[in-house]
Amino acid sequence: MTTPGYQVADVPAQWPVASSAEKYQGRIVSVRVDTIRSPDGNTAEREVVTHPGAVGVVALDESGPAPRVLMIRQYRHPVGRLLWELPAGLRDVAGEPLLRTGRRELLEETGYRAACWDLLVDYFSSPGIITERLRVFLARGPELVPASERDFVPENEEAHLLVDWVPLDEAVRLALLVSCIMALR
């Protein structure tokens, strides 16, 4: 239920920061502690992880009898799991437009390019703690790029990716199932 007089829309806002202290600076993220002042004058400490953001790609193949989505299985050390995910990557090239980042990540992680690109969603992954903003593109008309035309050499976890096409309805079912299981834990 909405409060009368308010539209359901995110809006920029910034409560005053009484103090801020950087606690850690890494290659990708930094951590700081901000003391913020609420509109009623109270203060609270908030830990903030600063992250450059990322781009994800839903590569959709609609050429067969049923649509399918391109997914990767990648080792994720923080959670100690091999996870099935959409191809995605950091916004780690200064000034690179987000669409170009999506195209680059799709090619680097899967060896595919796509003919048609649309914005699917733009969201904050965990806004209570981290500044990471994730933009997800829908990429249609995928085409495998010959290895001789690729200039990216995978290393670390990316050297061990498994790439596979998953029926779209199965991918959606599994995503919803995983969400329900995680909510029950």
Do residues 102 and 21 lie in contact, with contact meaning Cβ atoms separated by under 8 Å? no
Do residues 143 and 106 lie in contact, with contact meaning Cβ atoms separated by under 8 Å? no
CA distance 112 to 104: 10
- Within 8 A by CB and 6+ apart from 156, the residues are none
**Active-site positions?**
158
CA distance 175 to 185: 16
Do residues 168 and 67 lie in contact, with contact meaning Cβ atoms separated by under 8 Å? yes
CA distance 30 to 38: 24
Q: Please give the angle made by the CA atoms of 99, 101 and 172, to the nearest 5 degrees.
A: 75
